[in-house]
Amino acid sequence: MSISRRGFVGTMGGMAVGGSAMARVMSAAEPAGMSVLRRVESRPRPSSSQLLWQRDELAFFLHFGVNTFSDREWGDGKEDPKSFDPTALDARQWARTAKAAGFKAMILTAKHHDGFCLWPTKTTKHSVASSPFRGGKGDVVREFVDACKAEGLRAGLYLSPWDRNHPTYGDSPTYNDVYAAQLTELLTQYGPIHEVWFDGANGEGPNGKRQVYDWPRVWGLVRKLMPDAVMFSDAGPDVRWIGNEAGYAGATNWSFVRPDIVTAPGVSGDEVMRSLQHGDRDGTVWRPGETDVSIRPGWFYHPAEDAKVRSAENLVGLYFSSVGRNSKLLLNVPPTREGLIHQTDVNNLVGMRTQLDRLFARDVVAGAEAKWRMLGTTAAVGEFTLKEGATVGVLDLREDITQGQRVARYIVEGFDGIGWRVLRHGTTIGYRRLGKIAPARVSKLKVSIEDAVEMPLPVTLSAYQGD
Ligand code: FUL
């Protein structure tokens, strides 16, 4: 849950003197004896769970279920549970792949829209218990959480609210009870779950009726059973959808949103999409964006897509357009019918990691002397004198997001021995802002924060040579 602190802050000579109470302060510009009262809404900050979530940077998404065997993207709920028959399922191989590629968490589709449950639930027979997998005694969710634990990854689960199999779907109160029971099983029997993932898909039920979901109940239940988990949906409440499935966050991307714009999962409209993609500069809750995208054209594994796996270079590009734009990358890597991550996907993921490690191997700003100056209450400038001249091709800016998100506009300049030259300018920074630039030889770098929504704090600058 985001911690929203509201208080009153005054300024004195550009220095914050605020606190939680109204501050009566002297302004340098006011005639002596006059005092001003200035009320500033203090901005939201991330919770410790939201911080962990963002710092992980990379998570695997695993779409796996009856669709894997029927070669479909959306099952209709009429699939025979016996069709679910992975012959060599090894969740440790998923986890080892994730770890080798530098991913810190994994989210599994415990149930997709077809209603087939990957754990032996009491709420339906349409589950692994009716399949040949491990002789009907198997539990994919269990193997998944055990593998996460063994490899030191955080586990997350996606439970589709749309259920095309369950006979109660469409009888709203009854199905809402079923859904709550499924969530309860998942959040009480499998140890810590770090992220609970919800979409807003809401098709017609087998009875022709439209289901009305009870989101306040769902969110309340997760908060009660797993208080440290973050909940994902269009409407959070903790982390939000980034508004597309193509792998990029907005160039301007605030971690704040106005909750009155995206009120529930599945709502649509131009303002909703803008808010998802960019957040809201004047938002009142901390709800950072998650970028979900697949390594293959589909979310589920299809043999016909084996030659269409994103390359290592393409995956590096996704890292820049998501993590590098103050978002988190939730990369879908779907297991095959054997129950393994395909070798092509493994190779390209490891290739991505090799490229990223090479790119970020030597920060030319490390050890530089940094001097920051405040320029009023919403601007500041930091100058970095490098230990030796260097060529820079990648800039990496970071705000200390434990103190919120402040920067609204910045410029980075480089000194080439003769004069200052603009290397890059942009809007928000947040957790991390990465940018490739035309390689430039510099001896000094300067970051000017030209606009900020709160008194700017020094940002961290790293720079790399690039390709
Ligand atoms: C959507 C679903 O309809 C897709 O099948 C996929 O699971 C995607 C990640 O979320 O809501």
Instruction: Give the ranges where 152-247 is alpha helix by DSSP (H).
Output: 172-188, 215-225
In sequence order, the β-bridge partners of residue 390 are 442
What are phi and psi for residue 246, nearest 5 degrees? -105, -5
What is the count of structural domains for the chain?
A: 2
- In eight-state DSSP terms, residue 202 is -
Q: How many residues does the chain have?
A: 467
Residue 49 confidence (pLDDT) above 70: yes
348 in the same domain as 296: yes
Give the nearest ligand 1 atom to 61 CA: 9
Q: Which of 195, 199, 333 for mutating ligand 1's site (highest number of atoms within 8 Å of CB)?
A: 199
72 in the same domain as 16: no
Across 34-38, average pLDDT: 33
Average pLDDT, the chain: 91
Give the nearest ligand 1 atom to 292 CA: 9
pLDDT at 9: 26
222 in the same domain as 183: yes
Across 126-130, average pLDDT: 98
Instruction: Write out pLDDT tens, residues 50-89.
Output: 999 999 999 999 999 999 999 999 999 999 999 999 999 9
pLDDT at 36: 33
Closest protein CA for atom 4 of ligand 1: 299
Residue 31 confidence (pLDDT) above 70: no
Residue 1, in any domain of the structure: no
Residue 382 confidence (pLDDT) above 90: yes
Across 107-131, average pLDDT: 98
58 in the same domain as 38: no
pLDDT at 467: 82
* Binding site membership of 292 for ligand 1 (Cβ less than 6 Å): yes
Q: What residues have CB less than 8 Å from 187, skipping those under 6 apart?
A: 193, 196, 221, 222, 225, 226, 229
The domain boundary, picked from 316, 331, 359, lies at 359
Structure tokens of 93? 């191989």
Across 303-320, average pLDDT: 98
Structure tokens of 32? 């002596």
Across 189-200, average pLDDT: 98
In whole angstroms, what is the distance from residue 83 CA to residue 253 CA?
43
In whole angstroms, what is the distance from residue 412 CA to residue 409 CA?
11
In whole angstroms, what is the distance from residue 300 CA to residue 71 CA?
8
Q: Which of 456, 452, 463, 454 is nearest to 412 (CA)?
A: 463
Vertex 65: Cα angle to 76 and 305 (nearest 5) = 90
Residue 237 confidence (pLDDT) above 50: yes
The domain boundary, picked from 359, 379, 395, lies at 359
248 in the same domain as 145: yes
36 in the same domain as 66: no
Instruction: Write out pLDDT tens, residues 205-224.
Output: 777 889 999 999 999 999 99
Closest protein CA for atom 3 of ligand 1: 201
Residue 299, in any domain of the structure: yes
Residue-range definition of the domain harbouring residue 281: 48-359
CA atoms within 13 A on the CB side of 297: 9
In whole angstroms, what is the distance from residue 287 CA to residue 1 CA?
9
* Binding site membership of 244 for ligand 1 (Cβ less than 6 Å): no
Instruction: Write out pLDDT tens, residues 241-276.
Output: 999 999 999 999 999 999 999 999 999 999 999 999
422 in the same domain as 325: no
Closest protein CA for atom 6 of ligand 1: 299
* Binding site membership of 203 for ligand 1 (Cβ less than 6 Å): no
Quick check: bond before 458 cis, omega within 30? no
pLDDT at 188: 98
Q: 41: pLDDT confidence band, cut at 50, 70 and 90?
A: low
Across 356-365, average pLDDT: 98
In whole angstroms, what is the distance from residue 333 CA to residue 348 CA?
11
CB 358 within 8 A of CB 350: no
* Binding site membership of 290 for ligand 1 (Cβ less than 6 Å): no
301 in the same domain as 438: no
Coil, strand or helix at 466: coil
Torsion of Cα atoms, 292 then 149 then 131 then 159, to 10°? -40
Determine the distance separating the centroid of ligand 1 and the alpha carbon of 63, expressed in angstroms.
9
47-69 burial by CB neighbour count: b if 16+ within 10 A, else e?
bebbbbbbebbbbbbbbbbbbbb
Q: Is the pTM of this model over 0.85?
A: yes
- In eight-state DSSP terms, residue 276 is H
206 in the same domain as 148: yes
In sequence order, the β-bridge partners of residue 373 are 381
Residue 4, in any domain of the structure: no
Across 355-383, average pLDDT: 96
Residue 134, in any domain of the structure: yes
Vertex 390: Cα angle to 387 and 391 (nearest 5) = 160
The domain spanning residue 181 has which CATH number?
3.20.20.80
